[in-house]
């Protein structure tokens, strides 16, 4: 059992109504509030598409393709991961509240024809001297042309296989979404209080997408992206954010603002005794980093 200091993040849902060419589109907005002693997994939402660090499932299997743009720079990365939590080994607060579980090794995992490697899974507790390892998870990761030989095909399927000694092989297919690609236009600035963003992307006619608004914090670690707002919107290709939505955004803490577009497909039902209580999904992610208009 591990005991850590933690203050949970509690999204506050509201509704943003945008009006574009006479069309009304309701968007659910959640404020991601992280208190000083909160924790997060070290592979952040901007590469996994998962914003909450609290494990709600015993088994989490996800694949993702991530494109990150900043000015004229484009970086692509591809990730496949399987995390199996041990519900008999909780991670508790000093108050006794359970916030998660240690992980367990089940056997061998394959995505497509490639075996995933066992890798330490860490959580970062704010104000702590070092990260805490809570076990291992199965990982394939490639950034640009470096890393594991994992391929992500959009609007297709990725084979998954788990072999546990003495048990039948567990196999399934993970459907992947159509690639998402967005652009951001801004008018106004922070000084005048009239900063407004227009978000556009290749809409998918039906369904929903998530848009996370966060930032890259000032300091030594230039790759750490912290979330602030989580928007769930219709996948129709356009959303205008009014100036008032970001009036409390802590611009002074960030070097860049980051908009993350997420389109996902979730395996609705998969019943298996070994992978009971599971979450299986594929993500297409586009991170757009922008300088802050003062």
**CB-CB contact of 44 with 278 (8 Å):** no
- Flag whether pLDDT at 18 surpasses 70: no
How much is the average pLDDT of 146-160? 94
Count other Cβ atoms within 10 Å, centred on residue 108: 15
Domain segments of the chain: what residues? 2-291
Q: Tens digit of pLDDT for each residue in 26-45?
A: 788 887 755 544 555 555 67
> 48: part of which helix (H) or strand (E)?
helix 45-48
Is pLDDT of 14 > 70?
A: no
The radius of gyration computed from the CA coordinates of the chain, to the nearest angstrom, equals 20
Claim: this prediction has a pTM higher than 0.85? yes
What would the pLDDT profile of 206-241 be if each residue is shown by its tens digit?
Answer: 899 999 999 888 875 666 788 888 999 999 999 999
43-81 pLDDT per residue, tens = 567 777 777 666 788 999 999 999 999 999 999 999 999
Give CA–CA dist 210/131, Å, rounded: 28
141 or 95, which is more confident?
Answer: 141
Mean per-residue pLDDT, 162-187: 94
């Amino acid at each position: 059992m591990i005991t850590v200091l933690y203050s949970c993040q509690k999204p506050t849902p509201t509704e943003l109504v945008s009006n574009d060419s006479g069309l009304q589109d309701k968007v659910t907005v959640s404020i991601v509030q992280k208190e000083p002693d909160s924790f997060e997994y070290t592979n952040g939402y901007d590469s996994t598409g998962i914003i909450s660090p609290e494990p709600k499932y015993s088994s989490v299997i996800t694949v993702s393709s991530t494109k990150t743009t900043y000015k004229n720079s484009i970086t692509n990365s591809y990730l496949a991961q399987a995390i199996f939590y041990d519900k008999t080994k909780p991670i508790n607060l000093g108050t006794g509240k359970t916030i998660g579980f240690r992980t367990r090794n089940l056997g061998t995992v394959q995505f497509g024809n490639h075996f995933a490697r066992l890798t330490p899974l860490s959580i970062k507790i704010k104000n702590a001297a070092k990260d805490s390892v809570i076990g291992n998870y199965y990982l394939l990761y490639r950034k640009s042309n470096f890393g594991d030989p994992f391929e992500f095909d959009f609007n297709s399927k990725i084979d998954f296989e788990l072999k546990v000694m003495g048990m039948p092989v567990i196999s399934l297919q993970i459907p992947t979404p159509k690639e998402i690609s967005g652009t951001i236009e801004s008018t106004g600035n922070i000084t005048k209080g009239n900063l407004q963003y227009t978000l556009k992307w290749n809409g998918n006619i039906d369904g929903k997408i998530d848009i996370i608004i966060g930032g890259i914090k000032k300091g030594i670690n230039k790759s750490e992206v912290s979330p602030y707002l989580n928007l769930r919107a219709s996948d129709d290709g356009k959303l205008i954010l009014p100036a008032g939505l970001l009036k409390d955004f802590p611009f002074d803490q960030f070097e860049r603002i980051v908009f993350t577009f997420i389109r996902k497909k979730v395996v609705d039902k998969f019943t298996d005794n070994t992978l009971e209580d599971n979450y299986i999904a594929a993500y297409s992610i586009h991170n757009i980093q922008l300088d802050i208009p003062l």
